[in-house]
Amino acid sequence: TGYITFDPGFKNTGVTKSSITYLDGEEGILRYRGYSIEELADKASFLEVAYLLIHEELPTQAQLDAFSADIQSYTQVNQDLLKISEGFPVSSHPMCTIAALVGAMSAFYSTDEAGDDEKSVLRLLAQLPVMATWSYKKSIGEGIIQPDTTVDYCSTFLQMMFAKPGEKYTADAVVSKALNKLLILHADHEQNCSTSTVRLVGSSHANLFASISAGINALWGPLHGGANQEVIEMLEAIKADGGDTDKYIAMAKDKNSGFRLMGFGHRVYKNFDPRAKIIKKAADDVLKALGVNDPVLAIAARLEAAALSDEYFVARKLYPNVDFYSGIIYRALGIPTNMFTVMFAIGRLPGWIAQWKEMRVNKEPIGRPRQIYTGATSRAFVEIAQR
């Protein structure tokens, strides 16, 4: 095997130099371009953070206004993409639909090979939330709602989700603010599975839409973004089973059970996930403000307390991650469970774009990992009649 380093899962391989996100897993620090996640989540708007990630600096008011207006000017999705969306079965998981639609965007819109196609960037930011609402509307048998370009990014999304056709709709400020915070918390997370996928696909000079579509598929898996849906389903299952959290903790510790405590553990954070801290507080605030009493919240709190004091979880440094409480908020906001991971994708989009651009601008080489071969050594071919 010579000089090849064996590192399955890239646990200890730095594959790129990046100036986008700083993450210290021991101290629980997360910063976008040097700004703390706590401050950004508290004070910024999602589009401000998107601008920061993609354009490297926080925007001035004039720059932000121009960026928002540019995005709004691209919200009209090609009607043939809508037809494609309508061809998906009602039962299709919305992650499958949006990955396909984003991939299909390159059939409709020109793409630039240079890595700085501003129009593709604006189209994606404008159209992913629009397309994300289509399958929901279809699933509840309602017509789609056109985006209202007079309101902010989060409120437009909420309006497309929840307005009834022909009805005037104003997004609840608490809901809009909570969504803004959640999207910011998900906006980038350095070289995670989906982001590395976006960079790897883009490293062959595949276009931005193709690369982001691959990222959406990578995010879908239950060990990555798909965990937020799995967490709520797990909490519901525990509730339906009488709320016996100890039984599920025991199952998670049993390697033969095939069960993992969803929303726990992280490849990089080994003391706490700073996003989880912010989300837990936001969940409390949002549920209170909306007057929602979600019985799974108590189950979540019991699981967390039990896991944090249990030797198995302590020894392996398994803490609640960003996905443990996010589903509880999404549900309180009225987002259906099968769309939780779609919300993650909408939040992560600026990060994927920034990472893809950085990779192209820095002229990174094509990604091509090596392997340790473990198969048969040289064998003589046997004619089919002799096998």
Q: Which residues are part of the catalytic machinery? A: 266, 323
Q: How many CA atoms lie within 13 A of 362 on its CB side?
A: 17
CB of 90 to ligand CMC, least distance (A): 28
| 289 in Cβ contact with 281 (< 8 Å) | no
DSSP state of 93: -
Interface pattern 334-353 for ligand CMC (x via CB under 6 A):
--------------------
**CB-nearer residue toward ligand CMC: 175 or 322:** 322
Q: How many CA atoms lie within 13 A of 77 on its CB side?
A: 28
Residue 87 makes CB contacts below 8 A (sequence gap 6+) with none
Q: What angle do CA 57, 62, 68 make, to 5 degrees?
A: 85
When binding is defined by CB under 6 A, the residue of 123, 177, 189, 348 that contacts ligand CMC is: 189
| Residue in the shown chain whose Cβ atom is closest to ligand CMC | 265
CB of 263 to ligand CMC, least distance (A): 5
Per CB under 6 A, the segment of 70-78, 206-214, 283-291, 320-328 that binds ligand CMC is: 320-328
Quote the CA–CA distance of 344 and 18 in Å, as a whole number: 22
Residue 224 binds ligand CMC (CB under 6 A): yes
Site for ligand CMC in 54-113 (CB under 6 A): none
When binding is defined by CB under 6 A, the residue of 197, 229, 321, 355 that contacts ligand CMC is: 321
Could you give the 3-state DSSP secondary structure of residue 29? strand
Site for ligand CMC in 267-306 (CB under 6 A): 267
**CB-nearer residue toward ligand CMC: 22 or 108:** 22
When binding is defined by CB under 6 A, the residue of 2, 8, 9, 89 that contacts ligand CMC is: 9
When binding is defined by CB under 6 A, the residue of 265, 274, 350, 351 that contacts ligand CMC is: 265
Sheet holding 35-36, edge to edge: 21-24, 29-32, 35-36
CB-based contacts of 219-224 (< 8 A; 24+ apart in sequence): 219/95, 219/193, 219/194, 219/341, 219/344, 219/345, 219/348, 220/93, 220/95, 220/96, 220/99, 220/341, 221/193, 222/262, 223/193, 224/192, 224/193, 224/194
**CB-nearer residue toward ligand CMC: 55 or 221:** 221
The footprint of ligand CMC (CB under 6 A) covers 9, 189, 192, 223-225, 227, 252, 260-267, 316, 318, 321-323
